[in-house]
Structure 1
């Protein structure tokens, strides 16, 4: 029972670390571009993921489990969709505020719930779906401004953010599937193993692409190694806790609780970028908290 509830603090820690990582990546986007800032979390995160796995194996005195074709396939799926999701999110952040873009990407929980039920057989009761829907509706309230004209310029970042959320949903399902497909190991070792595999695949794919298509951005990311290393560590640490959550409960539960990142992004926006918070946004955040609270109450029964 204790380990069964560990997904709750793990998800909250992941959300805190991801908010910090997004801020670090946003600051790098103007320097090395969207693709360059996207690869930073993978290339500079991989050494930390290897360290996390080594510590887990030493602490538990166990070797990593053997990776079969099913686990590799799911993880590759998660790796590719996460690359697309991160690139789309950073592109949206160049056109809208940090907080609003984060809200757009957090339309993913309903999609995660449906994908998880259809592809992985994750349980989805009517009350849990209601909780997810309330929290997601809160995201829409936060992001939609009354009277705002839906121009082509305004539509672009919205579409980028929402599609980014869809790809994040698919990546969550892929990584949870990869963890579930491992034949053995504790939840910590299985989560750490898939994290290393996922970051390894992402690093290989993006570095190969950048060597051919955008070598200058890769060089700039290496020159900005201090900031890149910070983003890499935050990304790897956030992913470690996400994967711990995926190893213990459904991706829908994890991603719905992760909506606490929206209020966190609002706080960061206000403190760091002087972006205010309206009454409508406060109402939306209250809906998010209410939906998350309902989900937690159902999960604790």
Structure 2
């Protein structure tokens, strides 16, 4: 039987890919910050619906809303905002599929941060899987480029690479804060606590990025509301993805969740081909298979580790 955290993680990757593609379409209507704020503003109602539905079905209680919990929520929310904005900005540099690929270095970044801050342990085979997966996404990123030492250096320091890696770091930090916020709450139902964190963090993000938008781009907020048909879809998909991510983090080590979450690149290539109409090259197919092989190694390491 497939563990719940794996199902949550794969579902989160699928929802995130779908949401990102929809959000990329919004870039023709909204600014970077406008396209970013819709995922939180329109995601809050969906998050409340998830929380209410889960509580009605399973019951439970949550407590321990200390200042530490609120600080973790604030850090997680801010990290996700920064990561999302950096990712959207990277799309402008070299396309949807490759922009997302650069951000997938978050898997190894999250692993290191989680080991340092949370004391998580990762088996050797899973480390190998993470390395293989990261190698796969980097291969995707560099496909078709000059692979000489100079070419590699230029690829590493191009704007899309820098923005994507920075986005990955922000998402990695966000993951650790979200896990910490869940652990700071009192209660035995980890998924219920994850949904509570989701609603609170989305509310904070709406205030943070919405306030920034009003201060820096006051006219953009009107476009956020006028585009509600498309924006509401982005918000709903964002809430679905975040609910799955938060639940995955609650049930398993952050490093393992982020590593398995690299399957998003497979969904990304499919969306790139069939939704955005971009051509998938042979090198990208090979890279996708390498990513899948890495995820398999991660899971094998997890189960040999126990």
TM-score range relative to shorter protein: over 0.9
Cα 1:17–1:59 change in 2 (3 A) is same
Structure 1 residue 287, shift from structure 2 partner? 1.4
Give SS of 1:32's match. coil
Matched, 1:283 2:283: no
The one-character-per-residue Cα deviations of 1:143-197 (angstroms, maximum 9, x if unpaired) are: 1133175769x81112111111111111111111111111213012111011011
Give SS of 2:158's match.
helix
CA offsets 1:252-289 (integer angstroms, 9 cap, x no match): 11111111111111111111233222232222212111
Task: Please say if residues 132 and 291 of structure 1, whose CA atoms lie closer than 8 Å, have aligned partners that are also in contact.
Answer: yes
The TM-score normalised by the length of structure 2 is 0.93
State the distance in 1 between where 2:135 and 2:256 align: 16
Mean alpha-carbon deviation: is it higher for 92-101 or for 77-86? 92-101
Alignment of 1:121-200 (within 5 A): 121-145=119-143, 146-147=145-146, 155-200=158-203
C-alpha separation in 1, matches of 2:272 and 2:226: 28
RMSD over aligned Cα atoms: 1.8
CA contact (8 A) 2:106 2:172 kept: yes
Equivalent pair of 1:135/1:290 in contact (CA under 8 Å): yes
Where structure 2 has 5 or more consecutive residues not aligned to the other structure, the ranges are none
Greater than 3 Å deviation, 4+ residue runs? 148-152
Q: Distance in 1 between matches of 2:124 and 2:296?
A: 16
Equivalent of 1:79, from 77, 80, 87?
Answer: 77
SS in 2 for 1:215: coil
Give the conservation status (yes or no) of the 8 Å contact 1:138–1:285: yes
Matched with 1:266 is: 269
Find the partner of 2:115 among 114, 117, 136: 117
In structure 1, the residue matched to 2:42 is: 44
| Counterparts of 1:25 and 1:254, CA distance in 2 | 23
CA contact 1:262–1:285 (8 Å) conserved in 2: yes
> Helix, strand or coil: the match of 2:97?
helix
Deviations 1:95-151 (A, max 9, x none): 221111110110111110110010011112222211111111111011113317576
Structure 1 unmatched ranges of 5 or more = none
Conservation of the 8 A alpha-carbon contact between 2:123 and 2:301: no
Distance 1:64 1:49 in 2: 16
Number of residue equivalences:
299
Residues 42-88 of structure 1: per-residue CA shift (max 9 Å, x gap): 11101111111111222222233332222222121111111000001
